[in-house]
Amino acid sequence: MTTSPTTALDPHRVQRRTVFLLSASQLLSGVGNGATLSIGSLLAVDLSGSEAWAGSITTVLTLAAAIAALPLARLAEARGRRVGLVTGLVAAMMGALLFIVAVMTRSFPILILGAALLGLGTAANLQARFAAVDLAEPERRGRSLSTVVWAITIGAVAGPNLIQPGAVVGQALGLPPIAGPFVFSAGGLLLASVLLFLGLRPDPLLLARRLATAANGNDSGGPTPRGTVASGLRAVRASRRAVLSLAAVVAAHGVMVAVMSMTPLHLQQLVAGSHEGHHGGSTDDTDALVVIGLTISLHIAGMFALSPLWGWLTDRAGRLQTIAIGHGMLLLAVLIAGLGQDQPALVTAGLVLLGLGWSAATIAGSTMLAESVSPDSRVTVQGVSDTLMGAAGAVGGATSGLLLAWIGYTGLNVASSVVVAAVLVLALAAALRARAGVTIN
């Protein structure tokens, strides 16, 4: 009696190791996103010379993530999660280095190119959460996914607060002070890439596929079908649960990016106005940066710190219920931030709730999406989901600056409330039907 390499592997042990490696890589790569979110809009205004470009970095980053999501999913489908994730992280490392070059040369086009490459890292980090459920048992999918999402907390929260330490590092290396945080970003992304390249063996997606083939006793031996947006959307439309899942994560991401990307600029103007009123027109940029860094740090903490709670709630209370909770918090968040726009404390509270709502909706929605489509189309659908999330973020980032100029910060938040309220109603209705015993396919 012989034992194949596949059957000799313990899937539970491989799953635990996979979640650990993915979590470690998320922690390291999170520094890059944190630094970009906190000072990206300020760099864009500084290098372009116009506030009209304030949302350009977030827009380009999210648009690049949207464009890269499906190609990275195809790469994972063909060669495994390891290759897809490492490719995205290496591109992001190059983007962080380009940010340094842009600051040194004061080149806005190079800054935009760096943001685009950092977007590939965002796409890879999003797909890492799906890699966590390739081998997970159904009753633990939410917790496995949320563990990987949670791991980004330390790096992402540290990123916005690396401005001062980064200035010291920048000066030591002969760089402009504001370029220093991106030295940390590039280093973290390099370490994350090496960790996954060397450690993510066996590949969770390829192993899950081999285990499924062995269990079914057949193997077509044919090539993997080429996934497209159209084929992914067809698979989504075949399931109402998949449609709702997709709507939940796309709406949550679009609203989160729109509000978050304009908050640093709003706070800078708010703090500057406060100093003008009390100090005879003088402004303190350091105070503004401290407020911005703290607010974005707390927002990112809200996005990731309680992820295990939302994963546990997703598995215990239900996917639909947790989606409803997430969008309920998003609705409360934009109302608090918008109506309290003149108070930095209320804006910060709104941003924290915005992160919490995004986390709950994304974890529950991603979990339900992964199990609502057939295994053959799952990776393609996940790529389409991330593409649409990125597109929603790009639209949110692009329009948020225009809305801010047109109807102000309060108007931006009120407009966002309409989007999240619509998904909240759909999720509550679906949860009530499910509770009444009505099957939702």
The pTM of this model reads 0.79
Q: Report the alpha-carbon distance of residue 181 to residue 166 in Å, rounded.
A: 4
Q: What percent of the chain has pLDDT over 70?
A: 87
Q: Report the alpha-carbon distance of residue 79 to residue 308 in Å, rounded.
A: 30
The answer to whether 101 and 110 are in contact (CB under 8 A) is yes
What is the average pLDDT across 130-142? 90
Q: Report the alpha-carbon distance of residue 280 to residue 275 in Å, rounded.
A: 8
- The token pair at 391 is 């597109």
Q: What share of the chain is helix, strand, coil (3-state, %, to 5)?
A: 85, 0, 15
Quote the pLDDT of residue 222: 47
Quote the pLDDT of residue 440: 67
Of 28-42, 67-81, 144-158, the poorest mean pLDDT is in 28-42
Mean pLDDT over each residue of the chain, to the nearest integer: 85
Q: Report the alpha-carbon distance of residue 33 to residue 156 in Å, rounded.
A: 6
Residue-wise pLDDT for 275-292, tens only, equals 555 544 444 566 777 788
Nearest Cα to Cα of residue 71 among 324, 296, 380, 356: 380
Which has the higher per-residue pLDDT, 36 or 74? 74
The answer to whether 295 and 267 are in contact (CB under 8 A) is yes
pLDDT of residue 242 exceeding 90: yes
pLDDT of residue 362 exceeding 70: yes
What is the average pLDDT across 104-126? 92
- The token pair at 347 is 């804006």
pLDDT of residue 33 exceeding 70: no
Quote the pLDDT of residue 283: 45
pLDDT band at residue 48 using 50, 70 and 90 as cut-offs? confident
Number of C-beta neighbours around residue 410 at 10 A: 17
Quote the pLDDT of residue 1: 38
Q: Report the alpha-carbon distance of residue 202 to residue 245 in Å, rounded.
A: 30
Quote the pLDDT of residue 156: 64
pLDDT band at residue 37 using 50, 70 and 90 as cut-offs? low
The answer to whether 384 and 334 are in contact (CB under 8 A) is no
Quote the pLDDT of residue 3: 42
What is the average pLDDT across 210-217? 79
pLDDT of residue 310 exceeding 60: yes
Q: Report the alpha-carbon distance of residue 192 to residue 280 in Å, rounded.
A: 48
C-alpha radius of gyration, the chain, whole number: 22
Quote the pLDDT of residue 336: 96
Quote the pLDDT of residue 4: 46
Q: What percent of the chain has pLDDT over 90?
A: 46
Which has the higher per-residue pLDDT, 401 or 99? 99
Delineate the domains of the chain, giving CATH numbers in brackets: 7-210+227-435 (1.20.1250.20)
Nearest Cα to Cα of residue 440 among 318, 337, 345: 318
The answer to whether 160 and 144 are in contact (CB under 8 A) is no
Residues in the chain: 441
Residue type, 224: T
Quote the pLDDT of residue 421: 97
pLDDT of residue 128 exceeding 80: yes
Taking the CA atoms of 207, 209, 213 and 215 in sequence, report the sign of the dihedral they define: positive
Residue-wise pLDDT for 313-349, tens only, equals 999 999 999 999 999 999 999 999 999 988 989 999 9
Quote the pLDDT of residue 111: 93
pLDDT of residue 218 exceeding 50: yes
Quote the pLDDT of residue 93: 95
Quote the pLDDT of residue 226: 61
